[in-house]
């Protein structure tokens, strides 16, 4: 049935395609100290300048031997030591061995290390009968076995994670060239919205969207510019749009994109740029606006995303529709949405065909290793507790109707941007 049940609604994939088409990834770069690069995107392929490990070394505390020496005897004499950072570099005659520690350089000619637990020490003599037979290169970590010199270790477009930092450090690289973070200016619109820490008067509510939008933009790898709450006043809104466009690559608003009398966004944007007001075949999140704010010489053009005002809708559309756009803008070329997983519905879910539903759910894994999912309760687009309680979306396909407990549904677990 697709969106036929709701004619005029744009399927999510079509909206994403149209949005991604107009995005050109950032190309300005900065060089940053390695420890400051988490969350940034690599501007160039990173090749290893060295072999890791840079020399053959011992994986155990024990004894470095030549297998051949143990073909006629089980006892060898210790004639030297190789410690981590203090290698043994002398000669060691036939019938001898070298005491060696984990990470120490393998002495020339050694082809096996015997762990000390398999050795019986008697003065300078060590008996290895428990360790025989030996395997060639046992307990030896060979030069370049982890990373070879010139290997591609991280590709251009990779977003750096905490796990990458020690890996790059093993290569001795102190700083990386990364893409600058895109600047995203955002503001809330609405006469009813008050900042936190103030007392609410009759008819007012707290502006919650802006707080969520800020942290999510930062998690997505953007520089977030908070322009506050703008009342439903055409002149002030227009001024703010111009100010936002001048300082940012992307302008995000929440509220004012539906068809209420105080929803001026559409009007202003028609003046300032190219704007498509869409109704997306998703629930919540139907009213969503996308477009471009244009400057005369195109030097300060910006992308515009207008999120619906309802708190669940605002954060959901930011996550599902705007996140892929920002990933592309960041140059994060291997960005992927979270995978979807089949799960058994433990509760029923009310739904009408015609839009893809993103109900908020709590999944767990049962004793048979299967995913099960329950609703968080009230699924109103104004009830944000449903998002806070959830650990996944229950993605109910557009054509699907209500779901009974026991049916299989698709869940999408939250990405770290949402979860931690
Ligand atoms: P609108 O899209 O402006 O018509 O707003 C739809 C609903 O979302 C209304 O109930 C608004 O009061 C509410 N809303 C709009 N913006 C915010 C915000 N920043 N924080 C919390 N609720 C909001
Ligand atoms: Mg409003």
Q: Is residue 214 located within the same domain as residue 324?
A: yes
Q: How many domains does the chain have?
A: 4
In a domain, 240, yes or no: yes
DSSP character at residue 245: H
Q: Which of 330, 348, 372 is the last residue of a domain?
A: 330
How far apart CA 120 and CA 129 sit, in angstroms, is: 9
Nearest ligand, CA 192: 1
pLDDT tens-digit series, residues 227-272? 999 999 999 999 999 999 999 999 999 998 876 766 788 889 889 9
Give the binding-site residues of ligand 1, using a 6 Å CB cut-off: 188, 190, 192-193, 205, 207-210, 254-258, 260, 308-311
CATH of the domain at 411: 2.40.340.10
- Residue 65 in contact with residue 97, Cβ under 8 Å? yes
In a domain, 150, yes or no: no
Ligand 1 atom closest to Cα of 207?
Answer: 20
Give the β-pairing of 356-365 and 302-307.
unpaired
Q: Which residues are near ligand 2, the ion (C-beta closer than 5 Å)?
A: 190, 255-256, 309
- Residue 61 in contact with residue 119, Cβ under 8 Å? no
Q: Which of 35, 32, 47, 334 is nearest to 165 (CA)?
A: 35
- Residue 57 in contact with residue 140, Cβ under 8 Å? yes
Q: Quick one: pLDDT at residue 2?
A: 42
How far apart CA 279 and CA 277 sit, in angstroms, is: 7
Q: Is residue 9 located within the same domain as residue 117?
A: no
How many A from CA of 357 to the centre of ligand 1? 20
- For atom 10 of ligand 1, the residue with the nearest CA is 310
Ligand 1 atom closest to Cα of 287?
Answer: 2
In a domain, 224, yes or no: yes
Domain with 47 in it? 30-52+155-179
In a domain, 147, yes or no: no
How far apart CA 10 and CA 305 sit, in angstroms, is: 16
Q: Is residue 282 located within the same domain as residue 381?
A: no
Q: Is residue 316 located within the same domain as residue 405?
A: no
How many A from CA of 18 to the centre of ligand 2? 26
How far apart CA 303 and CA 5 sit, in angstroms, is: 31
In a domain, 38, yes or no: yes
Which of 256, 310, 382, 383 maximizes ligand 1 atoms within 8 Å of its Cβ, making it the mutation to test the pocket? 310
Virtual torsion, Cα 206, 212, 218, 224, nearest 10 deg: -40
Q: Is residue 102 located within the same domain as residue 125?
A: yes
In a domain, 22, yes or no: yes
Ligand 1 atom closest to Cα of 188?
Answer: 19
Q: Is residue 17 located within the same domain as residue 128?
A: no
Q: Is residue 230 located within the same domain as residue 286?
A: yes
Give the length of the chain. 420
Ligand 1 atom closest to Cα of 210?
Answer: 19
312: left (phi over 0), alpha (psi -120 to 50) or beta: alpha
How many A from CA of 209 to the centre of ligand 2? 12
Nearest ligand, CA 226: 1
CATH of the domain at 173: 3.90.105.10
Q: Which of 250, 200, 257 is nearest to 227 (CA)?
A: 250
Q: Quick one: pLDDT at residue 277?
A: 76
Token output for 259: 């068809």
Q: Which segments of the chain have a pLDDT < 50?
A: 1-4
Q: Is residue 263 located within the same domain as residue 381?
A: no
- For atom 5 of ligand 1, the residue with the nearest CA is 309
- Residue 351 in contact with residue 357, Cβ under 8 Å? yes
pTM of the entire predicted model? 0.94
Q: Is residue 164 located within the same domain as residue 198?
A: no
In a domain, 381, yes or no: yes
Q: Quick one: pLDDT at residue 235?
A: 94
Cα dihedral sign, 23-19-247-177? negative
Q: Is residue 412 located within the same domain as residue 356?
A: yes
Q: Which of 141, 165, 198 is the last residue of a domain?
A: 141
Q: Is residue 213 located within the same domain as residue 114?
A: no
Q: Which of 308, 330, 352 is the last residue of a domain?
A: 330
- Residue 67 in contact with residue 109, Cβ under 8 Å? no
Q: Is residue 412 located within the same domain as residue 317?
A: no
């Amino acid at each position: 049935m697709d969106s036929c049940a709701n004619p005029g609604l744009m399927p999510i994939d079509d909206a994403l395609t149209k949005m991604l088409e107009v995005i050109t990834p950032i190309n300005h770069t900065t060089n940053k100290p390695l420890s400051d690069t988490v969350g940034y995107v690599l501007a160039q392929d990173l090749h290893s300048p060295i072999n890791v490990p840079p020399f053959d070394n011992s994986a155990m505390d024990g004894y470095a031997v030549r297998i051949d020496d143990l073909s006629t005897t089980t006892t060898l004499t210790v004639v030297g030591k190789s410690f981590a950072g203090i290698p043994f570099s002398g000669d060691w005659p036939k019938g001898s061995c070298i005491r060696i520690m984990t990470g120490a350089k393998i002495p020339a000619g050694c082809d096996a290390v015997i762990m000390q637990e398999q050795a019986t020490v008697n003065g300078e003599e060590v008996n290895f009968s428990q360790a025989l037979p030996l395997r060639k290169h046992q307990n030896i970590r060979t030069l370049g076995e982890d990373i070879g010199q010139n290997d591609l270790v991280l590709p251009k477009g990779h977003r750096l994670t905490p796990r990458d930092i020690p890996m790059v450090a093993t290569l001795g690289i102190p700083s990386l060239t990364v893409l600058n973070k895109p600047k995203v200016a955002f503001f809330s619109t609405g006469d009813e919205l008050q900042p936190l820490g103030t007392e609410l008067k009759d008819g007012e509510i707290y502006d919650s969207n802006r707080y969520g939008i800020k942290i999510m933009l930062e998690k997505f790898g953007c520089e977030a510019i908070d322009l506050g709450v703008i009342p439903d006043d055409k002149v002030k809104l227009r001024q703010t749009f111009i100010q936002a466009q001048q300082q940012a690559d992307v302008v995000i608003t929440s509220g004012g994109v539906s068809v209420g009398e105080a929803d001026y966004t559409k009007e202003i944007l028609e003046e300032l740029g190219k704007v498509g007001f869409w109704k997306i075949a998703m629930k919540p999140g139907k009213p969503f606006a996308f477009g471009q704010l244009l400057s005369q010489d195109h030097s300060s053009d910006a992308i515009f995303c207008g999120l619906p005002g309802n708190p669940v809708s605002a954060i959901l559309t930011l996550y599902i529709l705007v996140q892929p756009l920002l990933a592309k803008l960041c140059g994060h070329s291997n960005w992927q949405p979270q995978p979807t997983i089949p799960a058994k519905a433990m509760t029923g879910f009310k739904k009408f065909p015609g839009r893809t539903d993103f109900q908020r759910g709590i999944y767990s894994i049962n004793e048979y290793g299967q995913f099960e999912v329950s609703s968080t309760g009230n699924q109103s687009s104004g009830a944000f507790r449903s998002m806070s309680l959830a650990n996944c979306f229950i993605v109910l396909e557009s054509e699907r109707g209500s779901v009974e407990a026991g049916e299989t549904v698709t869940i999408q677990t939250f990405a770290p941007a949402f979860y931690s």
